[in-house]
Each structure stands twice: as structure tokens, then as C-alpha cells.
Structure 1
């Protein structure tokens, strides 16, 4: 830096000397040609030239410094290829030519769209009408365009897709996919929460409001009616509290669907603890819980609290809806460590009609609404089970025939997976 400053100082002095020399020559010429009258004109010219000498060189130096910096940066910019720039983009990015063929995809794009590689025709890979139209317009008009695009397989994803020409000749275009799936999922979850909560809370709230009005009016001085209505109001508020708790649990699970638990949990003592906690409910329902868990540990990868919630929901449902059978059986099938662990909960109640089975894990879906509410159900238990098992990379299967009870089986992958 010191050497650079010294060089610039020397250059500045040389430039100043050059301007002073020009001013001197101009003054001598004016005096020689105009005589005494030229002295004043010569002095004015010298003043102007000196002023130019004072300011013009400094500006020239700044410009030269900028030129030097630009020259220093030019090789670095020239060495950055389109592939290097694409690799620095975190969103899926495709570079393609005027024929619609892929020239380059970055790593994010290769992960998001397997099989999309150099030479692939974009119009053959993206068959949705909106993508076809955007590609045709982009290739024909050569101007920036953007659309909303979704893919259903293997999972539903939403993207904001932007296409823009790049380069001086316009022979290359770039397409960037901005993933909107999380935003859409959160918006949908918020809308579902509001719709479901308002629907399920409306009935108990209306009931409580009606009882309050009655207690303030006709039943104001009736102790027996007052006691009866207060008991119903307490039951309804307890149901609303359970509903809110289940909705909050479901919302928390939906906020982290892809975060697989890594702790190792032994299902044997966990299920035994759940059975002990539910024995009073089983006795009240006239049901006996029989568990055949074997003597060996049942190790799975999971979150202990969430797995407790899974088996609490399954066993509680079996006790409530299978009471006519008098028995709930919990069994384990382990066909080798490579095949994981299956835990089944079977009741001997009336069973479930086949047409209802595919929808049992939907929120608020009930086979019999009145029976479910009579059993203090919220319609969210199996939805919570499904979301927990999805996070654990496990799955739930349901088998039932009317009159033969129902079996809910949880399939856990091997603990190492």
C-alpha cells in the first residue's frame, strides 16, 4: 500500500508539472503576441490552467485506481463457469438451450428431480400443462417468466418456478425451483386447525351456553336441575380440554414430520407401563388386558414419550370399543432383527366395517359419531398415532371383520434403520 501511494504521489507531481509547463508556454505566447495588453490575459489563462492542474489529476488518479481494481478482478470473474455459479445456488437449478434440452443441473436439482441430466428434454420430463406452456413461451419470447408448479409423486411438493434467459446471445436459459412445500403445508395445517377446531368446539360450547341460560332462568331456584346441568357442563368442558390437547399434540407432530428419533427404546417395559396405567379403565369397561411380550428386550429407535402416546391410544380404543368381547390381547412378532418388530393390539368387540378402515386415521373421522362421543373420544387419536409412526419410519395396519373384533398392528423397522 505504501509503494502504491508513493507511485501515485509521483504520478500526481508529474501531471502537475506538465500542466504548469503548459500554462507557462501559453503565457509567454500571449505576452509575445499581444505585448503589454497580453499580461492580463496571460495571467487569466495561467490561473485556469493551474486550477485544472489542481483538480483534474486527482480525478484521473481515482479513475486509474478503479481501472486497476477492475483489471485485477476480471480474471477471477472470467474463471467462474456457469456450472460453478449453479453449484453455489441452494435451490434446484437447470440450465438449458434454445431447443429445450438440459445443458447442466446443479446438485440440488439432481436430488429434487432424479433422472434429470444433461441432454434430457424438459418438455418430456415436466408434462404438466402449466410447465409445457411456460417452456414454450420462454423459448419463443426469451423473457423472464414464473409459475406455480406441483408434483404429486413420490410426495406432494409445491414450487415457484422461474425461467430467465442468460448470456449476451440469449442462447441459454436458466430455470430455478423455489420449494414452497413447507409454506403450503403450514398454511393448510392452519386452515385445517381452524376448521376442525371450530367444528368440534361448536357443539359443547352451544350446550354450555344453553345450560347457563337455563340456570339463570327457569332452573335458577331448582337445586336438582342445577346439579344435573353443572355436571353436564363439567363433562363438556373436559371434552373441550381433551380436544384442545389432542389438536396441539397433532400440530406439534406435523411441525416435525421428517425428524426421525434416534434414541433406543425398549418397548417391553414401555407397553407394560401403559397396561398398568390403563388397568382401571379396563376394569371399568369390563375388559381384561392380556399381554404376551416375551422375555427378550424389544429395542426400536424412537421417542419414549411419543411411543407411550401411541400405545395409550391403541389400548384405550381397544378397551372402550371392544368391551363386549371382554378381552384385549397385546402380542409381539419378531421374525429376526433384520425384519423389525410388529406389535399387535386386538380386541374382540363388534369389529369395523371394511369401508371405514381406510379412513380411520383421518382427523375427526368416526365410524359412529354418537358412540365415539359417548366414549369421550375426540376423533384425533388414530391421526396422532399415524403421525407419530410416520416420524418413526413405522406404519400402522388395521384388520377387522364385523363380529370378529379389530387388530391394530404397529410395524417397526429394525433399530439400526
Structure 2
């Protein structure tokens, strides 16, 4: 190991500087001490460099180090040697089980696509379904390392597939919902044009009323789709306006009821201030009250209650007294275009988006939505929102 050359030029400069200071008449002893310290620092600079980190004889990274590097990776990763799993990080053990260590990799993965990738002996990618659960989807990446090792990485694609499927379903459902009123409108318009001279005025008026009704339904559907799109785009933005929730609920409830207000049973306890988007909260209340009035019995009241839940939350509940909803439908009520009775919903002007809009508004306001229903007794929707501090 060679030493670095001593910096003679620096030492000469230090000596010349000290000599000049003595000639100028400055005290000799401090100058000699300063020269000594300077020379010592230059000696250290010119000393041998620290020894480099010794390289491994095999020129690679040990298996232990690979395991340490991969252990806490979020992605499941295994390392195989001669077809057997020699390293499995924490995420892979949670995915496939701790027993995979030392096991034949083909037995650990089992799926035909993964086995084909392993047996090929080449780097590549495979898409595997049902690796841990029936509907999950994983992309498996194989990459060869030195020393006969291969690293297998698992990338979960289930969420992407779910989003893509939900998007496809949404487009298909929206197209169907838009096509139905359009087909009705076009059919009646075509009839009117063909029989305009011989058509009975009363029949013509009936056709026009149908066209108007389907047109309004189409308008409402487009409006709800636009509302849902705006709410989803803003779902991560927490509203910061402080509102009097009691007054907002009272106003929105009466707006939604219109000439059905005689069926309302309002029950409010106290004043409540919440942080929220006024337009969205009004839309939420109107949707709930309109649903309760439409699907509840016409001779029974709809109860709208506002009450505190502890010191930090307020609960809005809207309860109708109608036919109720079967238990198997309850988990799906907030899905887009989901209807328990499609014919009745369309006849009453429903778009199938009302509760989906309510759910997204509640989520944006960091609240909770609960729906309880008993067949033959009615349905109760409860929304819990945090009070403004």
C-alpha cells in the first residue's frame, strides 16, 4: 500500500510565512507554535490513505446480505437456487406462507404460468391469477443473479384490474341508462311524425307527455353523472367552510319534499356547526329525503332527525315507513346504478345514482354512512359527521 506524497510546497509556504512574521517584529514563540501546528496538520494530510473496504473474494454479495436487503421490502420477493427457495422476505412469507423456505419453487407457487416461467430458466414475466386468493392477480418478474441465483418479485395487480373492471361496468351501465330514455323519445317522435295528420289530439298529447318525462329523466341522469364526477374529483379535498348544519338540513329537506312536506316529521336537537361544502351537503340531504318520500308508504310520515353523538359528532337520520329492503341488497345499495326494484325505480324517476352520490359526499366530509332496513317496516339511513372545532 503506497503513501500519498508529502506536501513539501505547503510546508515551505508555512516556513516562509513564519519567517516573515518574525522579521516584522511579532513575538517569536507564538509564531513557532503556530508553525509547529501547521506542519503537523500537513504531515497528517500527507499520511497514507485509510485502507479501502476489503472486497469479497467471490466478487459478489453474500446470500445473508441479500436477505437483509429484501426482508422489509413492501413487495413480496423470493430468491431461488437450483430450483429451491433459499430466501423469502417478510411480505412473501405472508403471501405464500413461511413453509416455502427450502421448498421447491414450483411447489411453492403451483400456478401453471409461474411454473412455466421457472422451468424456462430464462428471465421474464408471468401473470398469475388466484395465487393467494381466488380473484387476485399478480405479475411475477424473474431476474437472474450471479452465482446461479434468481430473484422472483411479485407485483399485485388486483387493484388495477378491479379499477379497470369497475370503469368498464360503469361505462356499460351508463350507456344502458342513457340509451333507454333516448330510445323511448326517438320512438315516440317517429310515431308522431308518421301519423301527424291522422293522430288523435289526446293520443298526441299523451305521446308528448311521455317524451317530456323521458327527457327530464335523461336530464336528471346527466346531472347526477356530472355531480358524481365532481364529487369524486374532490374527494381528497377536505372542505373548510363552517356551516350551520341544522338550518341546512331544514332548508334542504323542505326543498326536496315540495308539496309532499305534509308527510315530514322534523326532529332537531341543538345547534350544530360542521365544516363542509354547502352545495354537496344540501344535495346529500335532498337525495335521502327524496328517496324516503318516494319509496316509503304514501300515507306514512318520513322522520328526519338531527341529534348529537357525544361532544364531537352529529347524526342525521332519515327514516321511512315502507316495504323495506331485503338484507342481501343492503351491501350493494351505494353502488352506481344498483336498484332493488329497477321497474319501480325508473317509474319514480330514479337514476340509481342517489346513494352513490351520498356515499362519496359523506366520505369527502370524513363521515360515516349506515343503512338499516327491515322488510315490512321501512328503511333508516344514518349519517355521522364530525362537528367543526
> Does TM, scored on the shorter chain, surpass 0.5?
yes
Identify the residue that residue 306 of structure 2 maps to in structure 1. 331
Identify the residue that residue 96 of structure 1 maps to in structure 2. 79
Return the alpha-carbon distance in structure 2 between the equivalents of residues 292 and 150 of structure 1.
52
Return the alpha-carbon distance in structure 2 between the equivalents of residues 251 and 153 of structure 1.
34
The structure 1 residue matched to 2:148, chosen from 170, 175, 185, is 170
Farther off after superposition, 404-413 or 222-231 = 222-231
SS at match of 2:338: coil
- Contact 1:315/1:345 (<8 A) preserved: yes
For the structure 1 residues 128 and 215, does the alpha-carbon distance in structure 2 shift closer, same or farther, using more than 3 Å as the test?
Answer: farther
Return the alpha-carbon distance in structure 1 between the equivalents of residues 281 and 342 of structure 2.
27
The structure 2 residue matched to 1:190, chosen from 152, 155, 167, is 167
For the structure 1 residues 178 and 103, does the alpha-carbon distance in structure 2 shift closer, same or farther, using more than 3 Å as the test?
Answer: closer
What are the residue-to-residue correspondences of 1:152-231 with 2, within 5 Å? 158-167=137-146, 169-171=147-149, 173-181=150-158, 183-220=160-197, 222=199, 223-231=201-209
The structure 1 residue matched to 2:218, chosen from 223, 235, 240, is 240
Deviations 1:182-211 (A, max 9, x none): 643443233213321232233322221221
User: What's the RMSD between the two structures over aligned residues?
Assistant: 4.6
- Contact 1:292/1:330 (<8 A) preserved: yes
5+ residue gaps in structure 2?
1-54
CA shift, 1:378, in A, is 0.8
Q: Which structure has the larger Rg over C-alpha atoms?
A: 1
What are the residue-to-residue correspondences of 1:293-304 with 2, within 5 Å? 293-299=268-274, 303-304=277-278
Identify the residue that residue 346 of structure 2 maps to in structure 1. 373
- Contact 1:399/1:407 (<8 A) preserved: yes
What are the residue-to-residue correspondences of 1:327-366 with 2, within 5 Å? 327-337=302-312, 340-366=313-339
CA shift, 1:393, in A, is 5.1
The structure 2 residue matched to 1:148, chosen from 115, 121, 127, is 127
TM-score, normalised with respect to structure 2: 0.65
Identify the residue that residue 396 of structure 1 maps to in structure 2. 369
Deviations 1:157-189 (A, max 9, x none): 64422122222x222x22334454564344323
Q: What is the number of equivalent residue pairs in this alignment?
A: 326
5+ residue gaps in structure 1?
1-74
SS at match of 2:299: helix
For the structure 1 residues 190 and 114, does the alpha-carbon distance in structure 2 shift closer, same or farther, using more than 3 Å as the test?
Answer: same
SS at match of 1:324: coil
1:316 and 2:290 correspond: yes
Deviations 1:122-180 (A, max 9, x none): 799x99996655665555553224222467999x864422122222x222x22334454
For the structure 1 residues 415 and 151, does the alpha-carbon distance in structure 2 shift closer, same or farther, using more than 3 Å as the test?
Answer: farther
Deviations 1:307-331 (A, max 9, x none): 4333221122112222431333223
TM-score, normalised with respect to structure 1: 0.61
What are the residue-to-residue correspondences of 1:69-108 with 2, within 5 Å? 92=75, 94-98=77-81, 99-102=84-87
- Contact 1:270/1:308 (<8 A) preserved: no
Identify the residue that residue 42 of structure 2 maps to in structure 1. none
- Contact 1:386/1:396 (<8 A) preserved: yes
The structure 2 residue matched to 1:263, chosen from 239, 242, 251, is 239
